[in-house]
Each structure stands twice: as C-alpha cells, then as structure tokens.
Structure 1
Amino acid sequence: MKTATRDPAAQHLWRPYTQMKSTPPALPVVSAEGVRIKLADGRELIDGISSWWTVCHGYRNPHIVEAVKAQLDLVPHIMLGGLTHDPAERLAARLAALAPGDLNHVFFCESGSVSVEIAMKMSIQFWINQGVAGRTKFVAFRGGYHGDTLATMSVCDPDEGMHALFGGSLAHQIIADLPVDAASIAQFEALLDAHAGQIAGVVTEPLVQGAGGMKFHAPEILQAMRTACDARGLPLIFDEIMTGFGRLGTMFAAGKAGVTPDIMTVSKALTGGTLPLAAAIASKKIFNAFWSDDPAAALMHGPTYMGNPAACAAANASLDLFEREPRLQQVAAIEAGFERLLPAARDIPGVVDVRWQGAIGVVEMQALPELDSLKAAFVESGIWVRPFNNIIYLMPPFTIDATDLETLINTALAVTRRWAGQHFAGQ
C-alpha cells in the first residue's frame, strides 16, 4: 500500500526538513538562469536565498558550466587514494593561498557536515598523536548549527536547534553561551579551565550563526576566543560553510575578524552552487601532528568522492570569477541595498529585530505561525524566500542587479506586512 501524502512526488522522493504527510506539493523547476528560477507552470521567481546560500555567481554561470563540461570529457571522477589530478592539486593550492594565516593543508570531502566532522576528528587525533589521552569533547555554542550528521548534531544548539530528538544518541559536548562582553568572556575562559583535560577543541561559526537564527556577533568575540585558545593550546575551528566566499564582504569571515583558526571548514559557495564539494583546511600546527614515521599517526579518513575532478573544476572556475569579476563590490552593493530598504520592516507588526551584514538581510519575528502560508505568499508574489523558525532572511546571489534586489526586498517586506497584519493585528 502506498503512503498517503499531499505531495504526489513524495511517493518516492523523501524531502529535507519536511513532515512528508502534511507538506504542500513541492514546486517543479525546469530551469534556472542568473537569479531566476523557472517553474514548470511558466512562472519565474527571483531567488532570494541562493539555493541554500550556494549560488553566489548566479545559476548556470557560463564559465563554470564550460569548466565542468571540459573536465567531464577528461576524467569525471578518480579516487584520491594513490592517485592525484590537476584540478584538486590546483584548487588546494589556491585555497591555501586565499585562506588566512598558515591554513595550508586542504582535506576534501563532499559535504559541509562531513567537513566539520573531519575537523573534529583532526582535533581529537591532534592530541592522540602527541600522546595526550582524554581530550575528546568540544566546546560549542548555543545558537550554533554545524550540520545534520551525528557528530555535528552534537555541537549544535541542544535546546533550540532541530536535533533535540537525538540528545540521548549523541556524544555529550560542552555547550556554552556565546561570549559577548568582558564578563561572559571571563566565564568562557573559566569553562575552558574547568574542563582542561577533556577539551579537544572549540568550534564556532564566525561572525554569523546561520541556521540557528542568523545571529550576528562582533569580531572582538572571535579575537577573544583565539586568545583564550592560544593560552591553553586548544585548536580553534571556524565553520565557514555559510560565511565563506564573500557572503560577509570579505572572502572569509576569519579575515574580516582578523583571526586565523587552526582549522577552517568550507563548502556551499565553494563550487558556485554547481556540484557538491567541501574541505577542512588545517594549519601547519595541526598538520605537523600527523607528519610522522608512524603509520598509526595518519588521518584515517577518505570520502569516496573527495576531490572529485568535476567538482574541483567547478570550484576553480568559481575562484576565477572572484578574481576577474567584482564580486565583493557586488556584496557591498547588496549590503547598501539592505541598509536603505530593510529598516522599513521595523514597523511591521510582530517584528522584533532587523539586521544585515554583507549579503545577508534578516527580519526577526516574534513567531511565524502558519509558516507554509507565508512561503506560499512569497511564491505568489514572484520571489523564492524560505523562512525558518521565526526568521525571514534574504541571501541573494551576488550577481543580482539593483532592480531585482529592490524588487526582492520590497516584495518580501510587502508580503510580510500583509501576512503579519493578519497574524499580529493590534500589536
């Protein structure tokens, strides 16, 4: 017997973050170009979230498309165990040159969650290889999100995040409040000292906590974390899966904050939103702990599709575009558009905060009841915006022009105003 569902496609296709029994039908997409998604019924939507923050150069950028096509004609995939290839070698060198400080050693994988797991694994073995036992726990922060795999779930927010159901199945980590001032920084340092023999490393999203609520924090917080970790010899991990590759106005949030972590994870916009690829980029200090005559000191990890040549070709082409085209200036223009237009949201009923940084604009609501109706209203108005929890956010492709950006922002605010008027009347 087939399972009853509102979405005919769900007879076989299990969709993400979705209650399959009650979800509305998904929108069939037939093509995408630039900043527009074309639906099967002929409608076009301005993409306000870059396909989960990946499509930084717009859809079907010809330079990336041609690079992938050329690589498919040569070697679509080859294992990195005992073999190598130019796209991976070149990409690793370019990432090492772009990354801050001495982050020079690039370990590839296929997804952001896995890159964070690899960073955690590196940190634990960093201590083991030096003959130090018992350092297996990580300090992470409330409001944080690092992925949906088992290890990354354990360093997400345990209470407000989406993974509370799995609490009894996850490794027990040390979850702290994100320090925001001198007093909370002192509390953070005291926490590190209280668990001195247990901590393998500290993991955080630099400057913006993404899926946990698009929460911003100051560069000084990361600088304080770096100082505290240095004083105790602790590896500091920056999860730049969302913030990396220009989203905040610099290539990496680490550079914007003037802080070099010991390991930095990247994914999402790495390939310009074309093919799956991620990486954990380690410092010399981390890498040297694995450089040994002892085979047991090697990092025993190897995703099957790590360093996929086609994905690496896409990533190299994406980096070409950052070099040749004014992407960071375009991010600055998006930020200026948010600064000019988003403040109008402050008088919408139910709004508790409006904020922006780089190419991220956020309207925080008291709550978002009947969320599916709001999503549908955005689509009916010609934009693709996908709120979550109590957050309406915009993260368009960097290549969006001024007219489309204004349309996106004004339409999002108009729809939100109408919808909020129905749900927060009298406030």
Structure 2
Amino acid sequence: MSFLYKHLRIHQVFGANTDVGKTLLTSALIRASAAKERDVFYLKPVSTGPMQDADDEYVKRFAGSHKSRVRSKCLFRYGEPVSPHLAATLVRGEAAQSPVPTDHTFVNAIADYIRESAKLHSEPAHMYVETAGGVHSPTLSGSTQLDGYRPLFLPTILIGDSRLGGISATISSYESLALRGYIVDTILLFRDEYYRNWEYLQPYFADRGLKVVSLDAPPEKHSDPDTNFALTEKYYQQIVPASQEGGVFDALTHLDNCHANRLQELESMPRRTLDTIWWPFVQHGLVKSEKDVNVIDSASGDTFSVYNGKSKGDSTLLTSNGSSLLDSQFDGSASWWTQALGHAHPSLTLAAARAAGRYGHVMFPQGTHLPALKLAERLVSSGPGKGWASRAFFSDDGSTGMEVALKMALRAFAVRENGGMKEGQVIEKRRDLGILGLKGSYHGDTIGAMDACEEGVYTCEWHESKGYWLDPPTIGIRKGKVVITLPGAIAAEAGGDAEISPGTLSETYDVQTRLQTDLAQVYRGFIERTLQNLQLDGKRSLAALVLEPIVMGAGGMIFVDPLFQRVLVDVVRSSPVRGPQVSGPNWAGLPVIFDEVFVGLYRLGVESTSSILGVYPDISVNAKILTGGLVPLAVTMASDSIFQAFYSDRKADALLHGHSYTAYPVGCEVANETLELVEKLTTSEEWKESQSKWKVAEDQAAPAIWSLWDPRFVDTISRLPVVGEVMTLGTVLSIKIADDAGGYQSHSAQRILESIKEVTSVDGVSPVAGGASYSINYRTLGSVAYFMLSLNTSPALVRSVEDRIWKTLAAASR
C-alpha cells in the first residue's frame, strides 16, 4: 500500500547510478529539514559493507547542529560490500541458514517503520527513504528495486548523474521510474563545471514540468579522517547555509509544495467527481455524499490505494493518531473482470511502451504489423481457436467484438439461405433474422449487442429483442451439495423434480459422460420441441445461436448446466452425439457464437470453455483478460466457412466493419505479453496446489474443474443460513443471498456484506504488500455478490479474503 500523511512528508531517494551522491545529497536535505525545525526520519532499508561506511552512520555523523531532530535507521544490514541480492546469500554463521527476505517481507518491514514513525509526532516532519545503487539495482530477493519498492508508491527524488554519460543515465532512470508510475517530484545533482550536465538537464526536464536543482560538488575525500570530516562539514555549511536560502532550500520548499498539492488534489477529487463525472451502472441519486466516492490514488498487484479523508471527516484530525490518508483496498471484482496479472504489472507496462514507441497507432486495412500478426497466429493456431478457427478480426472491446460476431453469423446464415449467392442477392425479411440464446444473457451495451438479449435492466429505448431466449437449468452449491435447478418446463418433463444432484463438481462438468444420461435426452426433447414451435410460429427466422458458455456474468453470475448448453449446440447443428463435435469446414444448422469475453482465457480455470462443453463454436470473442486489464482490445475468431460467406470479388460483400483503433499495436503487444505470462502460470506451483485441493489429477483426460478458492471455504459458506447458494470456478466466486427474489433490483447482497468495505486489521503478516490492514471493494448483481481474483493472486491473500467473507456472512447468519 502507499502512505500519505498530512503531517509527515515522505520521499524516496533513487539514484541514476551508483556513486552519484545519493547519501550526500540526502544528508543535505535532512540538514535543511532539521534547520527548518522539522523532525527528520532517515531510513536505509538495506546496507552492505563495513559499519563505518554505512549510509545511516554517515547521516548521523553529518546531521549538523540540529542532529537531535534526526533519527537514522537501517533495517537489513550485511557486511559484504556487494550488491544486496548477493550480500543476502553470503551471510556467515547461523544467519546463513535463514531464507533471503522476499520482496513482500522487505516491503512490509519498510511499511512498519513508516507507520511507527508517523505515530511518534503530530507535528510536521520529513522522512527520506534511500535506496541502494541505481534504479534497477537488485533488492534482496534479486528483483529490480523499481518493482520491489513499487507497492509502497512513495513520491520520489531522483539523484542525477553529474559525470560523463550522466545525461543519458539520468534520463533513462527517470523514464524507468515513469514507466512504473512513480511520482518524481524533483531531480538533484552536483554542478560539475567540466561536464555541465545540469545545464542540459534543467531545460530538458523543465519542458516536462519537472524541477532540477543543482548543487556544488563536494571536495575530494581526504585520507585523514579528521581532515575529511572538517572539509565535509564545511561543505555542508556552504550548501545548507544558515540563511536558509538557495538550492537545497529551494528543493525543500518544492518538495513541501508537491506534498501539499497532492493532499489538496485528493481532498478535492470527491466533490469535483460528483460535479463532473457520469458513472456507468450507478444511480447517482443513491450517492448521497462525497464519502461515497472511492478515490483511487494508485493500484498495485491486487489492491487499490484509496484516499480515506473523505470518509473520516476533517482530514486534519488524522494528524493526531498518525493514520495514513491512504488505505489498501482489495480489488474484489478484478476491476470488472479485466485483471489477469494484477495492476501495474511491469512486464505489461513495458510491452505497451515498446509498441507505443515503435508504432503509436497505424491504420490496419490491407496492412499488417508484427504485434497483430503474432497475436492472431497465436490465438488461431495454438490458443482458444486451435482446431476450428482460421481468422482473427480485431476490435475495441467485448461489446464491439460481439457486434462483429453477430454480423458474421447473420451474413453467413443469409448467404446460405440465399443459395450461396452474394452478388445481387435479395434476402427477404432480412431484418426479421433473430438469434437463439438464454435468459439472463448479456453481450455488451452497444445497441446491436443489446438486441441479442431479451428485454432487461441493461436495455434502452431503442432496444428490440431480436430472437428467442430459453430458460436454462443452473448449477449451485447448497449446504455442501452440488444442485442443478431445472426451470418449470424442463422439470415437468424430467418427472417433476425441480432439483437434481448430479454428484461432485467434477462429475457435474463431465459433459461427455453425462451425454449418455436420461437428463440429456430430456434436454434434447425440450429443445427440439421448442425450436419446432418457434418455426411454426414464423415470427422470426433464427439465424444464430449465441451463448455465454458456462457462466452468464452480468445477468447474475448464472452458472448454466454445461450439459444443457452442449445439447443445445448439438440440436441447432442437427448433429448426432458422437463425442466432441467440431464445426469443421462447413457449419451445419445455425452458426454458433461463443461469447467468451468474460469466461475465456482461464478466468474459469480453462483456456476455453470448449474443453468443458466438448464442442467448438463457429465464432468466438475474447477480450478482458486478453490484455491483462491494461488496455482495451477484443478479438473475434471465425471458422473458414464463416469467412467464405464474405469472400468474393465485390467490395459490397466484404465485412464492412471497423474501428479507428483496429489492431491497436499497443493492445496487441500487451496481449502477446499477457498470454506468455498466463501460459507460465498454468504450470505454476500455486495452480498445482489449488488443483490438488479440488482433486484434479495432473494426468487426467477430462477438463480440470477447479478453483483458486479453497473447497473447504466454499463448502462452509454454502451451509450458512444467510446464503442461498454458492458457486465457484477458476477465479470466480458467486454468493447468492437466501430467500431473496428481488433480482437485479435487490440490495440484499450489498446490505449484508457492506461491512467488508471497512478497513480491518490483519492478524500476523499482512497478505497485502506494505499493509497492516485493508478493505475489500466488491460488486453485487442484486441478490448476488461476486468476488474475483487475478490469475496470480497469492494464496495468502486469497485465504485472508476468504476469512473476511466468512466472518461477515457468519455474523449476518446469527
């Protein structure tokens, strides 16, 4: 988590290289702060080398006449004068048996020191946290400092390099900091009269709104310690004069102003937001005050850092108890289902920068570029399109990707119905073409995507339902038991039982085996009769089957019986049930669209829901996880038979659909990087451990049915009186409140789980990097509360969130 206090200004000091004067210039700032009658805290998280050369000892030695105001501390000290990642492994004696501190341990140690320091005084104070070496020097664990320190998100001072090559080193260091989102408030460097780097860097950074302060260079180190001390002390008296004027004091004033401006900005954001922003999916009439605005200052991993001043009244009150103005908040919806690898993942950020720097954006019709080509080939040949897709069409987001899919399917159907003729074709009643889908489905908020759903809360005045929607059987876990709930019409044909217990979760999702059951025949008979009646009705000609496979998300996290969806696909294709059905080169019956915007790319623990259903679509759409939640991008994949419906020598027969940012290079490069990282996750020890808990064998042939949520936790909460049913797959956890038929309009889930949004202390080591406490940001769909993880959320954080959910629901059950 990040830290921000009204009374304690904190800055982190990075160097553009080793030996650029980090400690010397930090000491100058410390002396200036103390001279301004500020208590000063200096923290050197890691020190390597002899004690007499330690930076924290140097700060004490040259604290000046106000040294009583200065507190100096080192957290991890190693005797070997080498890089921290090496020093941590070269410890002699008993300590050699201790494990190297992880970044999580390292960050939490710094966070604890900051918290304790903030509690010491209510008067204004300054803190300086000095890193080691250059910006990319390793932490104890071996990761780069920029990534290791990032969860703390402390405002930064960059010490520039005044030596030969220092201009390049300083600019490169700044850009490395900027790429990871650091707030760089100022750059300090020595005024070397030979290389004169400051003369170049001051206007260079001034054009970017950044202040550069140059100070006289120190004298050469004298071999005699006493003489050296006297010379160094004299130097400090020159650059930190008693008049409190000049360079270092200018820098100090600037840092204080940056701190004050950040506080003022955060304090004003709730009111400005209420006056300016129109939120999606929010009834503004229910947002009563500024405290209801969730101000996100930064994000890292699975957590937001949110401003709490608007919820605790006058923020000046916080100076008395040393509380940070920022709290950690777990992103419980994976930011509307987009996050795959957590926020601000450095690999994705760098991928975006690579493509932005190489291309910006380039128009795509009849062109190509490597990020788009590699992504298309990967998705079609070895990704979710393997075995059926031949083409990939790029668009902006999931909703537009579905618009493309609908155009593809409807044209393919129309061409076939017209005898394959495209040139000069006349399709009678083409506006009466409709789709077949399921009740509760949702494919986005563009008009065409809305028309592919029945009337509901998401539709608008222009909405015209163009199709028919079947009421599907659903799956839930109740009192520890997997239950299939049948709609009335199907229950009547199944002997009157509205609920069926198919066995374990793995048995329930073993579609291939269940195809031989009586229930499969009941489903088939029901679907066939329904379609026959629709054909006799003749109001619309159904031209495509559109499904959200396995889970219908926005409709209420509805887990559909996969057997029903499989049989439905088989019926509309008029295909016999003979194992996994592949659409092949020529689609049969109706083209089938899989909307995998939400469920695809391992959101449910599998790359594609085709592996569960045992059948491929003719068209599918991927988005959200595709780019790891960093930038919008969607891909609609299609089989060759769909593509051929548009293929001719007439422009009018082409798929005349496009976006200005089609195949956006930044999005494509980020997607390629995301898929690389996700592929590695699938074989990680964390995934294997979770799969073993759900009794998934490594060599099993059937699709793995598992979850990152613990099965014991799921079983426990499913038995609570306040819970109607629970379901989970992959990263998704859905909790339906008992005895609530209010649907989307209900506030029951929000009301019962409201306290989970409050900041709560964590026992033991916090699973949130740098945080001793955190709240949970989650979303509800009426009577359903859902929680979602990234694909790499740490097991410790998952267990902690589970504990919070269980305690809240258990309290509501009393």
Counterpart among 296, 299, 308 of residue 29 in structure 1: 296
When residues 12 and 282 of structure 1 are mapped into structure 2, their CA distance, relative to the original with a 3 A threshold, is same
For 1:3, the equivalent position in structure 2 comes to: none
**Aligned match for 2:402, one of 99, 116, 140:** 116
Q: Which residue of 2 aligns with 1:80?
A: 364
Counterpart code for 2:548: E
Q: Of residues 368, 371, 380 in structure 1, which corresponds to 2:758?
A: 380
Identity level (%):
28
Q: Does 1:355 align with 2:706?
A: no
CA contact (8 A) 2:467 2:542 kept: no
Quote the offset at 1:371 in angstroms. Answer: 5.7
Name the counterpart of 1:152.
449
For the residues of structure 1 that align with 2:674 and 2:665, how far apart are their CA atoms? 14
User: Are 1:247 and 1:331, in contact at CA under 8 Å, matched by a contact in 2?
Assistant: no
Residue matched to 1:176: 470
Deviations 1:325-357 (A, max 9, x none): 336875562825331212222343431111212
Is residue 147–residue 156 contact of structure 1 (8 Å, CA) maintained in 2? Answer: no
Which residue of structure 2 lines up, in the alignment, with residue 227 of structure 1? Answer: 570
The equivalent residue for 1:341 is: 713
Over residues 7-39 of structure 1, what are the superposed CA-to-partner deviations in whole Å (9 max), with x where a residue is unaligned? 641211110101112225321111111111111
Distance 1:65 1:275, change over 3 A: same
* Pair 1:404-2:797 in alignment: yes
Contact 2:413 2:591 in 1 (8 A): no
Q: Answer whether contact 2:305 2:326 (CA < 8 A) is retained.
A: yes
Aligned to 2:501: none
Letter in 2 for 1:408: V
**CA distance in structure 2 between the aligned counterparts of 1:275 and 1:148, rounded to whole angstroms:** 18
**2:340·2:625 contact (CA, 8 Å) conserved in 1?**
yes
Contact 2:399 2:445 in 1 (8 A): yes
- After TM superposition, give the deviation of residue 306 of structure 1 in Å: 1.5
8 Å CA contact 2:709–2:733 kept in 1: the answer is: no
Aligned length: 413
SS of alignment partner, residue 373 of structure 2: helix
Contact in 1 for aligned 2:709/2:731 (Cα 8 Å) = no
**TM-score, length-normalised on structure 1?**
0.90
- Secondary structure class of the residue paired with 1:335: coil
Q: Which amino acid aligns with 1:148?
A: D
Amino acid at match of 2:398: G
CA distance in 2, matches of 1:331, 1:192: 42
Partner of 1:95: 379
Matched, 1:9 2:273: yes
CA shift, 1:165, in A, is: 5.6
Distance 1:340 1:238, change over 3 A: same
Q: CA deviation at 1:74?
A: 1.1
Partners of 1:330 and 1:398 within 8 A in 2: no
- Range with greater deviation from structure 2 (355-364 or 178-187): 178-187
1:30-49 C-alpha deviation (Å, 9 max, x unpaired): 11111111113310012222
Kept after mapping to 2: 8 A contact 1:271/1:318? yes
CA contact (8 A) 1:201 1:234 kept: yes
Q: State how far apart, in whole Å, the 2-side matches of 1:379 and 1:292 are.
A: 57
Matched, 1:140 2:442: no
Pick closer, same or farther for the CA change 1:343–1:335 going to 2, 3 Å.
same
In the alignment, does 2:497 pair up with 1:125?
Answer: no
What is the DSSP-based 3-state SS (H/G/I as helix, E as strand, rest coil) of the residue aligned with 2:707? helix
For 2:665 and 2:401, the matched residues in 1 are separated by 18
The 8 Å contact of residues 48 and 397 in structure 1, kept in 2 or not, is answered as no
* Cα gap change, 1:123 to 1:337, in 2 (>3 Å): closer
Change (3 A) 1:372 1:346: closer
When residues 258 and 239 of structure 1 are mapped into structure 2, their CA distance, relative to the original with a 3 A threshold, is same
The 2-side partners of 1:399 and 1:254 are apart by 23
Computed over aligned residues only, the root mean square deviation of the Cα atoms, in angstroms, reads 2.3
The equivalent residue for 2:342 is 58
Partner of 2:525: 186
Aligned-pair CA distance for 1:52: 0.9
Contact 2:402 2:449 in 1 (8 A): yes
C-alpha separation between the residues in 2 aligned to 1:328 and 1:308? Answer: 31
Rounded Cα–Cα distance in structure 1 between residues aligned with 2:446 and 2:684: 32
Matched position secondary structure for 2:635: strand
User: Mind listing any 5+ residue stretches in structure 2 that lack a counterpart?
Assistant: 1-269, 308-324, 419-426, 474-485, 487-518, 575-587, 691-705, 741-745, 760-774
Q: Match for 1:383: what amino acid?
A: I
In structure 1, the residue matched to 2:641 is: 285
In structure 2, the CA distance between the partners of 1:217 and 1:335, relative to structure 1 (3 Å rule), is: same
1:243 maps to amino acid: V
Give the distance between the partners of 1:391 and 1:22, measured in 2 at CA: 19
CA distance 1:169–1:401, shift in 2 (3 Å): closer
Q: 2:603 aligns with which of 232, 247, 271?
A: 247
Q: Distance in 2 between matches of 1:140 and 1:296?
A: 29
AA at the equivalent of 1:163: Y
Tell me how far apart the structure 1 counterparts of residues 272 and 748 of structure 2 sit (CA, whole Å). Answer: 22
TM-score, scaled to structure 2: 0.48
- What do the CA deviations read for 1:202-258 (whole angstroms, capped 9, x no partner)? 101111111112122333223212211222621011110111010111111112322
Q: Could you say what secondary structure the match of 2:400 adopts?
A: helix
Aligned to 1:238: 594
Q: Is the 8 A contact 2:451 2:463 kept in 1?
A: no
Counterpart CA distance in 1 for 2:681 and 2:390 is 25
Q: Which moved more, 1:285-294 or 1:168-177?
A: 168-177
Partner-residue secondary structure (3-state), 1:221: helix
Cα distance in 2 for partners of 1:329, 1:84 equals 38
2:271, 2:756 → 1: CA distance?
19
Q: How much does 1:277 deviate?
A: 0.4
The alpha carbon displacement at 1:392 in A equals 1.4
Distance 2:533 2:651 in 1: 34
Secondary structure of 2:285's counterpart equals: coil
Q: Which stretch of structure 1 is more off in the superposition, 197-206 or 226-235?
A: 226-235
8 Å CA contact 1:100, 1:260 repeated in 2: no
The equivalent residue for 1:162 is 457
Which residue identity is paired with 1:23?
V
C-alpha distance in 1 between matches for 2:792 and 2:647: 42
**Bigger Cα displacement from structure 2, 203-212 vs 192-201:** 192-201
Equivalent residues in 2 for 1:259-274 (5 A)? 259-274=615-630
The CA deviation string for residues 72-128 of structure 1, in whole angstroms up to 9 with x for no partner, is: 111121121233211111111111021242212111111111111111111111133
Larger Rg: 2
Q: Is the 8 A contact 1:254 1:260 kept in 2?
A: yes
Q: What's the CA shift for 1:172?
A: 3.0
How far apart, CA to CA, are the structure 2 residues paired with 1:130 and 1:292? 14
Moved more, 290-299 or 187-196: 187-196
* Contact 2:453 2:466 (C-alpha < 8 Å) held by counterparts: no
Q: Distance in 2 between matches of 1:353 and 1:409?
A: 16
**SS of 1:337's equivalent?**
coil
Report the secondary structure of 2:725's partner residue: strand
Partner AA of 1:35 in structure 2: D
**Is the 1:250–1:328 Cα contact (8 Å) retained in structure 2?**
no
Q: 1:410/1:199 Cα in 2 relative to 1: closer, same or farther (>3 Å)?
A: same
